[in-house]
Structure 1
């Protein structure tokens, strides 16, 4: 009687599948935390510095270049 044996490779593949099935949820949670953490960090630092606000107002045309220079000197 001949016993069927799979040559040893199937055992390796099953162990690899077990490792992947355990590591995949952890990697997914880690990736989600990284993505959400980046978004939360962006919201925290969403405030502009006074100089950035001046540059934005200049770019929109709300203030003139002379006003920009005068206000920049005042905040510096």
Structure 2
């Protein structure tokens, strides 16, 4: 998963971890942070919510979760 790019999209929209968590029905910012870090798997019903919030297509969000991060 390309966690850095997902985080970058969120930050560029000035969306907080807590705001994303609440959109997904999570109780804490840490709940979303674990998704963004790849520690917790994303549920299918969460994909369209993230896409909408980040102004991305479903295809773009899915690509973030299957794309590997670049190794430098």
TM range (shorter): under 0.3
Q: Which has the larger radius of gyration?
A: 1
Q: Which structure's residues are more often helix, by fraction? A: 1
Specify which structure has the bigger relative contact order, considering alpha-carbon pairs within 8 angstroms and separated by 6 or more residues.
Answer: 2
The alignment's TM-score, normalised by the length of structure 2, stands at 0.22
